[in-house]
Each structure stands twice: as C-alpha cells, then as structure tokens.
Structure 1
Amino acid sequence: MSDVLTVPNALSMLRIALVPAVVVMLTRGEFGTALALCFIAGVTDAFDGFIARRFNQQSRLGSFLDPAADKFLVLSSVIVLAAVGRLPWWLAVTLVTRDFVIVSGAIAFWLRTGRLEMEPSLPSKVSTAIQIVLILVVIAQGAGVAGLRRVLPPLMVVSFLAAVVSGVHYVVVWTRKAASMS
C-alpha cells in the first residue's frame, strides 16, 4: 500500500480540509455548525490513530500529517476566536508563538542534523489537549451552551501556562539533542 493512500492519512487530510469550513463558520458566528465540524474532526483524529496502530498503517507521511492537521485546526480556531473577540489576543499570540518556536526549532534541527523524527512530548500532548478543550468550550459557549462563562478564565490561564511549559520543554530537549549530535 502506498504511504499516501492509507485510511489514516485520508482522515488527516479530511481534518485539514475541514479547517476552512470551521474558520468560515466561526467568522460568521455560526458556532453550532463550527462545534459540529470540530466534533467530526475530533472523531476522525481518534479513528486515524486507532486505524494506523491496529491495522499497521503507520507511515512517515502520517507522522507529519496527523499533527499538522491538529495544529492547522487549533491555530486557525485560536486566531479566528481572538479576531471575533471570543479569546484574548495575549492568549492567541502565546499559543501561536509556542508553535512557531517549535516548528522553527524542528527546521533548525533538521538543517543541522539532516534528520527529524516527530516525537510529541508529554507536556506538548497535555498543552494541545488543554487548547482543544479551551477551543471547544469557547465555541460551545458561542453556540449557547450555558454555564461555561466561569470555566473560561481559569482554562485560559491553564492553557497559557501549559503552552509556556511545553514550549520551554521542547527548546531544552531539542537543544540538548542537537548538542549531543555535534
């Protein structure tokens, strides 16, 4: 089977294709539809990982596509939610900057060593999970789900702290890894 033509890779590509639709729905204030699309994206994310492991369809392309699909959706949602006044800009800038630092570091590592293995760290997985919960809570609140207003301020602080910790963790780990290869 071709590395490209696997079910998990197709599901990751579907998630990437959903990003513009989510962005449009958020900018139009159609939070219920955006929430439904995010739910579909979440289900495809769970299935692609399960299928890849269960049916031995893990691939190098998939190791890049899956996190890229997640990042496109998360970062696009964060930026749009800040633009429409649902998230503070300080938080959006922090989350985007963290990912910019990580991607820049990965490119620098690859240029220095000629190798790159996508290895999400535990702090990164926790940060991403918190960001996804934050986005879903903000969208759900926009869709009219009651009782979420009090949850948002602490969730924003936790998201900020998790992003900073995971960003610093990546910088330290990959700097050490690059230094050990010299």
Structure 2
Amino acid sequence: MTAADRPDWATIPNLVTLVRFALLLPVCLRLADGPDTPGVVLLLVWASTDWIDGLLARALDQASRTGAIIDPIADRLGLAAIVLTLAIADLLPWAALALIVLVDVAMTALATGAALGGRISVSWLGKVRTFVLMTAVFLLVAAAAWTPSLVPAAQALVWIGAGLHTVSGLDYIVRARRAPDAAPAEAGPPSRR
C-alpha cells in the first residue's frame, strides 16, 4: 500500500502515540504508590514515545493530520495525569498542578480551533516548554526514587517548566486570536511537535 492509498491515521508514528495513551494508566498507577525504579523506567518509556513518534514521522515521511492532532492531546493529557498523580503522592505542589491544568484548559478553549484549522503551528517556545516540563517531571520522579535529597531541586525545575508552560500557552492564545480565519499554518505540513 502506498502512502497515497493509506488512510491518514494508519501510520507507524500514530501507533506509537497510541502506545503512549495505553501506557498512561500503568505509569500513573505505578507512581501513585511512590516512585521506585520500575516507575522511573516506565515513565521514561512513556516519555520516550513522544520523541520516537516525531522521529518516525520525519524519518518515514509519515507526518499526518491525525498525528498532528493526537500527539499534542497525548502530551497534554499525559502530563496532566502524571502531575496529578505526583501531587497526590505529595511530590508536586498542588499550585503547580493547578497552573499547568489552567493553562492547558485556556489553550484548549482559546487556541484549539486555530490549531486544528492550520492557522497556527507549534512554536519553538512550545517545543522547549514540553522538553523542560517533561524532563523536570522525570527528574522529580527519579530523585524521589533514588536520591530524595534532590527532590527540592527537581521541584524547582518543575516550577521553571510551569513558567515556560504559561508563557508558551499565552503565546499560542495570542497567535490564535490574531490568526486570520483563512491563513495557512506557519510551518507548512503537519508537525508532530
């Protein structure tokens, strides 16, 4: 089957994104009991699927509209569920969780239409924000499991990530509000990140 004959959703990168969705519940359940080595490894596997799906989309020339939609949903839903789990486990301040979720809700309400309509694309700041926030969450879990004395430093990095998340979210909202209804996406073909 050639790429032209394949349905938009039937790609290897989209399968990897679906694996990220499937891993979310096991990751949260494992972390809810307190981070340990299997929890750190499972979180690393979950987070690596975000990098792998984008890499495969580019390497296999399988970027798709479906992937451009479900990849950020997997990121936002996954990150919200994991930070909620860490807040319940008393590793993350509830205020950080509230800030992350509030920004996500605002972006969903105010920028999703422009993103789905191709009028805005993922920004460089958005990519940095995602990397910093996911790295900070991973380091927080790793510190709690292996070196509890480093938990405060990892929590500080989560706050930096939450700050970047806020700035990036505001940027998306402003760009979405300014984007003309018929303007093409800034970056051309669908992006997985």
Query: What TM bracket, shorter-length normalisation?
Result: 0.7 to 0.9
Tell me, in whole angstroms, the C-alpha distance in 2 between the residues paired with 1:55 and 1:152: 36
Match for residue 145 of structure 2 among 122, 143, 146? 143
Structure 1 residues 74 and 149, CA gap change in structure 2 (3 angstroms): same
Of the structure 1 ranges 39-48 and 123-132, higher mean CA displacement relative to structure 2 is found in: 39-48
Matched with 1:158 is 160
Does the Cα contact within 8 Å between 2:13 and 2:52 map onto a contact in 1? Answer: yes
Match for residue 48 of structure 2 among 37, 43, 52? 43
Of the structure 1 ranges 47-56 and 137-146, higher mean CA displacement relative to structure 2 is found in: 137-146
Aligned residue pairs total 178
Spell out the pairing of 1:65-144 with structure 2 (5 A cutoff).
Answer: 65-107=70-112, 109=114, 115-116=117-118, 119-144=121-146
Tell me, in whole angstroms, the C-alpha distance in 1 between the residues paired with 2:131 and 2:119: 21
Match for residue 175 of structure 1 among 174, 177, 190? 177
Unaligned runs of 5+ in 2: 1-5, 184-193
Structure 1 residues 59 and 145, CA gap change in structure 2 (3 angstroms): same
Structure 1 residues 154 and 23, CA gap change in structure 2 (3 angstroms): closer
Tell me, in whole angstroms, the C-alpha distance in 2 between the residues paired with 1:44 and 1:59: 17
Larger helix proportion of the pair? 1
Unaligned runs of 5+ in 1: none
Report the TM-score, using the length of structure 2 for normalisation: 0.82
Tell me, in whole angstroms, the C-alpha distance in 2 between the residues paired with 1:179 and 1:47: 33
Identity, % of aligned positions: 27
Tell me, in whole angstroms, the C-alpha distance in 2 between the residues paired with 1:84 and 1:14: 25
Residue type at the aligned position of 2:94: W
1:60 equivalenced with 2:65 (yes/no): yes
Tell me, in whole angstroms, the C-alpha distance in 2 between the residues paired with 1:160 and 1:65: 22
Tell me, in whole angstroms, the C-alpha distance in 2 between the residues paired with 1:30 and 1:180: 47
Structure 1 residues 76 and 130, CA gap change in structure 2 (3 angstroms): same
Q: Output the aligned Cα RMSD.
A: 2.3
Per-residue Cα deviation, 1:74-111 (whole angstroms, up to 9, x for no partner): 1111111111110001111001111111111134547x
Report the TM-score, using the length of structure 1 for normalisation: 0.86
Tell me, in whole angstroms, the C-alpha distance in 2 between the residues paired with 1:89 and 1:48: 31
